[in-house]
């Protein structure tokens, strides 16, 4: 991790630790108010964190919109406790430090089984949870204590707008933190990461916010019995998202298996499609593509050589970059025809079909696959230590005619970051 990225992570952790120490210290000094309510919400948050799901590519390039909150029940419980003003018709007596302390304690308890299983502590989600819950509590609890919110009717014009504004600010705070931590961990551009986080909010993010508000309002009227009743829909939604993620991973694995047909038949080098897909996705991320475009890019990169199965004699080492333009176009069109039969999005077939077009006429995704495929072919021609660097220089020399200069430079940055240009 680069020094600047380490400073970002350290800054977020320091802020979360300072808030946690303040909340825990004040709560221990003043004592826990309304212990039954604190225990009930603490158990709810703990259970939500324990049933957190871990997508197969969590934290990696395949993290898709809608999967960023892996513990929606825990997030909704923390938000509800931060917003809680009444319990069963009587005013709640907890304050901001206690909200932070309960969220912290629940998160730490949920880490114990994870550490016991050898999976390591998930500190990034815990830091985000503490900071966002603290932010919501700071905005809401002092108003509850001072009395203004109690004077506003729940169905009046002011209270709903206040809640919507508070939820929007809390969600924005969490998105900014998530993008900053992801940027620090991966080195990817911050703008596209933040954009993807914001695009995820209307999905599971809106469900978390709505459930948190409903739990808070229902607890004010019905008491703690509202917790299991109103958490069940979000829990079922979480399991549905898990099933959806599993289906999508199976879909991706099926495409990857189909792409390996060229390797098994001896038309391409071992691991070529996988390397091109991984590197293409990294270059696409470097250029600011969003998650749907990155998925299209990955699928197209995996299947870009599928048209070689139509050849009677394999291309030496599968290096199509050295073929005449007419042969490249024929392979690309045949590959596109095959891809259209697999059920993948039509955009994937378009990228495969246009691999042999002049780069100025190609969409950006096709330019990326073309450059990365050529790089992998050229780098594989030589096992010498300087092979990757020479391959990159050959791409740079061909940017006037064959390859998009911006894509080649993005590829160079990705390779340099990963130490692969030696």
What is the structure's pLDDT at 222?
A: 86
Query: Which residue is it, tokens 């038309």?
Result: 267
Domain ranges of the chain: 3-242, 260-417
What is the structure's pLDDT at 368?
A: 93
What is the structure's pLDDT at 62?
A: 40
Helix/strand/coil for 90: strand
Largest CA distance in the chain: 82
DSSP 91: E
What is the structure's pLDDT at 314?
A: 66
**Joined tokens for residue 216:** 């808070």
Q: How many CB atoms lie within 10 A of CB 257?
A: 11
What is the C-alpha separation between 389 and 419, in angstroms, rounded? 11
What is the structure's pLDDT at 78?
A: 92
Convert 289-308 to b/e letters by CB count within 10 Å (16 or more is b).
bebebbbbbbbbbbbbbbbb
52 in Cβ contact with 204 (< 8 Å)? no
What residues in the chain have per-residue pLDDT under 70? 1-5, 53-69, 120, 143-160, 311-322, 381-386, 419-422
Q: Identify the CATH class of 260-417.
A: mainly alpha
| Nearest Cα to Cα of residue 350 among 411, 364, 61 | 364
398 in Cβ contact with 405 (< 8 Å)? no
Q: Which residues contact 195 (CB under 8 A, 6 or more apart)?
A: 290
The model's pLDDT over 324-382, given as tens digits with 9 standing for 90+, comes to: 777 778 778 888 888 888 778 888 888 888 887 887 888 899 999 989 988 888 887 65
Q: Got the DSSP string for 22-86? A: HHHHHHHHH--SSHHHHHHHHHHHHHHHHT----TTTTSTTPPTT-S-S-HHHHHHHHHHHH--E
What is the C-alpha separation between 291 and 193, in angstroms, rounded? 9
What is the structure's pLDDT at 390?
A: 84
What is the structure's pLDDT at 374?
A: 86
């Amino acid at each position: 991790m680069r020094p600047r990225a380490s400073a970002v992570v350290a800054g977020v952790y320091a802020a979360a630790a300072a808030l946690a120490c303040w909340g825990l210290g004040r709560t221990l000094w003043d004592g826990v108010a309304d212990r039954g309510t604190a225990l009930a919400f603490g158990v709810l948050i703990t259970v939500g964190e324990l049933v957190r799901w871990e997508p197969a590519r969590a934290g990696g390039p395949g993290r898709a919109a809608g999967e960023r909150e892996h513990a929606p029940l825990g997030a909704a419980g923390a938000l509800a406790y931060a917003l809680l003003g009444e319990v069963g018709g009587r005013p709640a007596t907890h304050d901001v430090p206690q909200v932070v302390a309960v969220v912290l304690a629940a998160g730490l308890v949920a880490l114990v089984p994870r550490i016991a299983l050898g999976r390591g502590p998930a500190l990034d989600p815990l830091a985000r949870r503490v900071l966002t819950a603290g932010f919501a509590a700071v905005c809401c609890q002092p108003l509850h204590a001072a009395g203004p919110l109690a004077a506003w009717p729940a169905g009046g014009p002011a209270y709903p707008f206040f809640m919507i504004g508070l939820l929007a600010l809390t969600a924005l705070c969490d998105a900014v933190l998530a993008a900053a931590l992801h940027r620090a961990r991966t080195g990817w551009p911050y703008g596209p990461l933040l954009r993807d986080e914001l695009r995820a909010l209307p999905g599971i993010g809106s469900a978390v916010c709505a459930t948190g508000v409903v739990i808070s309002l229902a607890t004010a009227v019905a008491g703690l019995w509202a917790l299991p009743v109103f958490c069940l829909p979000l829990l079922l939604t979480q399991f549905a998202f898990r099933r959806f993620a599993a289906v999508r991973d199976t879909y991706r694995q099926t495409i990857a298996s189909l792409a390996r047909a060229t390797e098994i038949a001896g038309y391409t080098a071992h691991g070529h499609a996988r390397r091109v897909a991984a590197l293409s996705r990294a270059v696409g991320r470097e250029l600011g593509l969003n998650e749907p475009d990155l998925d299209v890019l990955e699928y197209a990169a995996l299947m870009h050589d599928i048209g070689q199965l139509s050849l009677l004699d394999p291309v030496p080492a599968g290096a199509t970059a050295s073929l005449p333009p007419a042969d490249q176009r024929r392979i690309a069109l045949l590959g596109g025809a095959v891809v259209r039969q697999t059920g993948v999005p039509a955009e994937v077939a378009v990228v495969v079909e246009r691999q042999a077009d002049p780069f100025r006429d190609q969409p950006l995704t096709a330019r990326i696959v073309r450059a990365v495929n050529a790089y992998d072919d050229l780098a594989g021609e030589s096992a010498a230590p300087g092979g990757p660097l020479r391959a990159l220089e050959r791409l740079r020399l061909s940017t006037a005619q064959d390859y998009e200069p911006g894509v080649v430079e993005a590829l160079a940055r990705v390779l340099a970051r990963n130490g692969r240009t030696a």
